[in-house]
Amino acid sequence: QVILAQVSFGCAMSAASRAMENLGAPLILTEDAGDEHKLFRQSSSESAQLSPYGLLEAPSSVPSTPLGPSAGVTVEPDTKPAHVPSAVLEAGESQIVDPPPPADGRGPRAWLSRSWLWRLLEFTGPGWLMSVAYIDPGNLEADLQCGAQFGYMLLWALLFATTMGLGMQLVAARLGCATRRHLAEHCQEHYPFGLRVFLWVMTELAIIGSDIQEVIGSSIGLKLLFGLPIPLGVVITAAAAFGFLFLERLGTRPLELFFGGLILILALSMSGLFSVIKPDPDEMMRGLVVPRMPPSAVKQVVGMLGCVIMPHNLFLHSALVQSRVVAPGEEANAVFLFGVESTAAILTSLLINMSVVAVFSKGFYGSPAAADIGLGSAGHYLGDRYGDLMRIIWALGLCAAGQSSTMTGAYAGQWVMQGYLQLQVKSWKRAIITRSMALFPTLLVAFYFGGGGSGLDAFNECLNLLQAVVLPFAVVPLLTFAGSRSIMGDLVLSRAFLVLGWVAACSIMAANVYMVLVEVGLNAADLASGEARSLGVLGCLLLYVATVVFVAWAPSSAWRSSG
């Protein structure tokens, strides 16, 4: 209920503000002036034919002119002819007119509000698929570890990471909508070959690491529900994800509704745990607004950054927004609508993650079980303390999180490989390649750790750290392209937003460096003594920073030389 209320409130407030801004905006009509939403229905059907998520097709670009002569619509954004009655229009003609007043006499504001909500519904879908990465098993692992080991203390870090992630997702959506090309395609075009291969390898490592967490998470859920061995659960999850991808053959909307159903299952599961365990609201608020971080929490906070802001999700979102056909001149409105949807989706993910942190803070913080708790043992601990129903609820949520994120990971892998390598292969072959690249490492992990336990939990934490280390190699190209007027045109990022983005990118890199320094215990005395291990660590850190700086500099250098 809390989640639904928050989402409804956010959408309602955004709808009201947008309706105020759009008073007097022109509307494109065909000769059928009475059909208010004809244009949007045509756009939706054409979008489905484009097979936007790439399983059936993976087009390198989406036509920027969605409605051609056969649709009876032409778009002339720079002209506004005088009103001509629709009865005198010849076939194939169009005109741009002001919105007609509604019959009920309530004025244009109510009519525009309804039109705005229809448009928002048309653009709803990509943001919710993107938000799946914010509630995958890697996030649940970080949440429960955070709550069990540090109580409510690190809720502010979760809020900070999610806010930073929302900003990056808005930039990714803006890039894809403004240029009709996703991030991997821009990297392929603007980076030299060697650096392009390096960025592709780093992104694939992040995808494989994320996929291991997601498939393992689902298999743990299956083990809790049915007692299946984890390796068998891995095979079942991977096969099911591959099968579910073919839901796209039914159309875009059924696929998006399927993802929405999985998110709803997870939200209801975590809400059920929250309502039964009843965490302390005062402590939750204190954890959100009072930043506290003991030295032992550095690794946890950096891992939280990596699991919340996942590198491959930026590539995914810049591609998903192209599933909606945008008329020329309407890109700014589309960016706004995608922003409203993304904000609502990520707000929902934040509430789910906060619920997990709060549940394990109330149930396990300060207890002997806190040191050993993980994705698998969490279900047993919840069942022992609060009843077997809580174990089942946790397992259902884990399965939903793992299955949905496994599918979006497959989509991300497809777009990344298609963009970087420009591979033109059959869709089913591409799906097999991406699934196999992640399945074999996952099976090795599953067999190595066997029944799970603390070793698997520690491995999951290391994978979260891997995401954080790779993250700058996705964020830096994104900000570089989004800040270029030659690429973005009028939708280039504002100077203020660009500065905030670069501050966030530098913060991520600084957090990674600091985490390494803390974990290895590097200090000035060791460096002064010339200890080989310390010098090696310092050299790796300097190389890491220099590589990130070079990634930021390389496209600008190419633009200057060509220019």
**pLDDT digits 0-9 by tens, 64-105:** 333 333 333 333 344 333 333 333 333 333 333 333 444 444
DSSP secondary structure code for residue 521 in this structure: T
d(CA 410, CA 145): 27
The percentage of the chain sitting over the pLDDT mark of 70, rounded to a whole number, equals: 74
* pLDDT of 36 strictly over 60: no
Q: Which region among 70-79, 301-310, 545-554 has the lowest average model confidence (pLDDT)?
A: 70-79
What is the mean predicted confidence (pLDDT) over 526-536?
A: 72
* pLDDT of 479 strictly over 90: yes
d(CA 173, CA 153): 32
Who contacts 85 (Cβ-Cβ below 8 Å, separation ≥6)? none
Q: What is the pLDDT of residue 557?
A: 59
Apex 355 CA angle, 349 and 359, nearest 5? 155
pLDDT tens for each residue of 495-526: 999 999 999 999 999 999 988 888 776 766 66
Q: What is the pLDDT of residue 82?
A: 36
**527 band by pLDDT with thresholds 50, 70 and 90:** low
Residue 435 to residues 168, 185, 191, 247, Cα–Cα distance (Å): 27, 21, 27, 16
Cα 124 from chain centre: 14
What is the mean predicted confidence (pLDDT) over 340-352?
A: 96
* pLDDT of 247 strictly over 60: yes
What is the mean predicted confidence (pLDDT) over 346-364?
A: 95
Burial 173-200 (b: 16+ CB within 10 A, else e): bbbbbbbbbbbbbbbbebbeeebbebbb
| Mean per-residue pLDDT of the chain | 79
User: Which among 350, 319, 14 has a CA at the least distance from the CA of 164?
Assistant: 350
Helices (runs of H) and strands (runs of E) counted in the chain: 23, 2
Residue 513 to residues 118, 463, 469, 479, 537, Cα–Cα distance (Å): 47, 16, 9, 21, 10
d(CA 24, CA 41): 22
Q: What is the pLDDT of residue 453?
A: 62
pLDDT tens for each residue of 368-403: 888 888 888 899 899 998 999 999 999 999 999 998
* pLDDT of 163 strictly over 60: yes
553 residue type, one letter: W
Query: What is the radius of gyration, based on Cα positions, of the chain?
Result: 25
pLDDT tens for each residue of 178-237: 999 999 999 999 999 999 999 999 999 999 999 888 888 999 999 999 999 988 998 898
* pLDDT of 559 strictly over 90: no
Q: What is the pLDDT of residue 243?
A: 76
The percentage of the chain sitting over the pLDDT mark of 90, rounded to a whole number, equals: 47
Does domain 123-490+502-562 correspond to CATH entry 1.10.3720.10?
A: no
**51 band by pLDDT with thresholds 50, 70 and 90:** very low
Helix axes 532-562, 193-226, angle to 10 degrees: 120
d(CA 219, CA 285): 34
Q: What is the pLDDT of residue 481?
A: 96
318 vs 243: which has the higher pLDDT? 318
User: Which among 500, 497, 476, 549 has a CA at the least distance from the CA of 203?
Assistant: 476
**242 band by pLDDT with thresholds 50, 70 and 90:** confident
pLDDT tens for each residue of 121-158: 889 999 999 999 999 999 999 999 999 999 999 999 99
Characterize the bridge pairing of strands 27-29 and 95-97.
Answer: antiparallel
Residue 6 to residues 1, 11, 18, Cα–Cα distance (Å): 9, 9, 18
Q: What is the pLDDT of residue 185?
A: 96
DSSP for 86-155, written as a single string: GGGPPTT--EEEPPPPPTT---HHHHHHHHHHHHHHHT-SHHHHHHGGGGSHHHHHHHHHHHHHHTTTTH
Cβ neighbours, 10 Å, residue 484: 17
pLDDT tens for each residue of 418-433: 899 887 666 667 667 7
d(CA 342, CA 334): 12
Dihedral angle of Cα 473, 477, 479, 480, to the nearest 10 degrees: 140
Q: What is the pLDDT of residue 104?
A: 41
**441 band by pLDDT with thresholds 50, 70 and 90:** confident
Place of tokens 């995958």: 136
User: Which among 104, 86, 103 has a CA at the least distance from the CA of 95?
Assistant: 86
Helix axes 252-277, 2-21, angle to 10 degrees: 130
Cβ neighbours, 10 Å, residue 99: 17
Q: What is the pLDDT of residue 440?
A: 83
Is residue 75 within 8 Å of 67, Cβ to Cβ? yes
Q: What is the pLDDT of residue 151?
A: 95
Is residue 185 within 8 Å of 422, Cβ to Cβ? no
